[in-house]
Copies of this chain bind each other. A is one copy, B any other.
Amino acid sequence: MKSIKVVPSERLEIIGIDELPEIKEGDDLAHLFLDALEAKNVKLEDGDAIVITSKIISKSEGRVVDLSDVRASSEAERIAREMEKDPKIVQIILDEAKEIVRMANKHIIVETKHGFVCANAGVDQSNVEEGKAVLLPEDPQKSAYTLKKEIEARSGKEVSVLISDSFGRAFRDGVTGICIGVSGIPALLDRIGEEDRFGRISRITKEAVADEICAAANLVMGEFRESIPITIVRGLALERCEGEIQELLFKREDDLFR
């Protein structure tokens, strides 16, 4: 994580991009996105942050499981009884998890293989055909990097790409948009060393800008129907850099709640 000087932007615009077809495995998302932009008569600009819901990344990457192909283990069967879930879904959750963080009140909170702590390992049965479940992308950081390169190569604009999902939180009800992969801007903004209004030096403030950008985008994307799977956040004054989602994940010894 670098310490980055930032002039706050005074004005942002958040533009929802609908007009995308239902996404299938192998679809070229960069191409479909640029087509949808053209259909909406929106021109990409340098500095645009493109927020893409993980659901369509997963679908394009074939991260969809047919439940009829899943065999639930006895452990999955046991957990499914306790948590009142489908044993096959529990099996998929266990396959995606590095570790179970908490099980209670019919919720299964895990750490995924990527290191994200979330309900059901992000396995989701909404907005997919009956009998199927969508997993999180296998390597969303890499997906963001690849998509950014492709969009930049074809558009000639310098952009950033963020892959978003909706996670619940400890201590606060409801889900919010969060980031699971980011390329082109920092995930975490380190304001350590900046001066405040009274000339005092900040010692601790790190701002999770990638999560805030995905939360902002979620206001437009809508949580459920997902008719707007891509959003452009325009006007951010962030320094360009590789971007690395790991910045948002605690080292185990820094995690106060495990």
Interface residues in chain A, defined as those with a beta carbon under 8 Å from any beta carbon in chain B: 6, 8-16, 18, 22, 101-102, 104-105, 107, 109, 117, 125-130, 166, 169-178, 187-189, 191, 194-198, 200, 202, 205-209, 211-213, 215-216, 218-228, 233, 236, 247-250, 254-258
Given that A102-B256, A211-B176, A256-B109 are contacting pairs, would A14 and B171 also be in contact in the complex, using a CB cutoff of 8 Å? no
Partner of A10, one of B16, B117, B166, B176: B16
Number of copies: 2
CA–CA, A188 and B189, complex, Å: 27
Interface pairs A-B: 9 shortest CB-CB? A174-B208, A216-B216, A8-B222, A215-B215, A117-B171, A170-B170, A170-B257, A12-B14, A207-B223
Query: A128: which B residues are within 8 A, CB to CB?
Result: 198
Contacts of A209 in B (CB 8 A): 174, 219
Extra contacts, 15 of them, besides A126-B200, A173-B188, A216-B219 (Cβ < 8 A), are A8-B16, A10-B16, A125-B200, A126-B202, A166-B205, A170-B171, A171-B257, A174-B211, A176-B211, A189-B223, A191-B224, A194-B224, A195-B225, A196-B225, A207-B218
B-chain residues with CB within 8 Å of residue A174 when the two chains form the complex: 187-189, 206-209, 211, 247-248
**CA–CA, A188 and B206, complex, Å:** 26
Assess whether A205 is in contact with B172, with CB atoms less than 8 Å apart: no
A10 to B129, CA, bound (A): 26
CA–CA, A236 to B16, complex, Å?
12
Verify B9–A16 contact, CB threshold 8 A.
Answer: yes
Rounded to whole Å, the gap between the CB of A111 and the closest CB of chain B is 8
A107: chain B residues at CB < 8 Å are: 256
Q: A12 — nearest CB in chain B belongs to which residue?
A: B14
Given known A127-B197, A221-B8, contact A205–B250 (CB-CB < 8 A): no
What is the CA–CA distance of A256 and B106 in the complex, to the nearest angstrom?
10
Tell whether, in the assembled complex, residue A236 and residue B219 are in contact, meaning their CB atoms are under 8 Å apart: yes
Enumerate chain B residues within 8 angstroms of A255, measured Cβ to Cβ.
170-171
Known: A173-B208, A256-B107. A12 touches B198 (CB 8 A): no
Give the CA-CA distance A74 to B226 in the complex, in Å. Answer: 55
Query: A215 touching B211 by the CB < 8 A rule?
Result: yes
**Shortest CB–CB separation between residue A19 and chain B, in angstroms?**
11
Residues of B close to A225: CB separation below 8 A: 8, 194-197
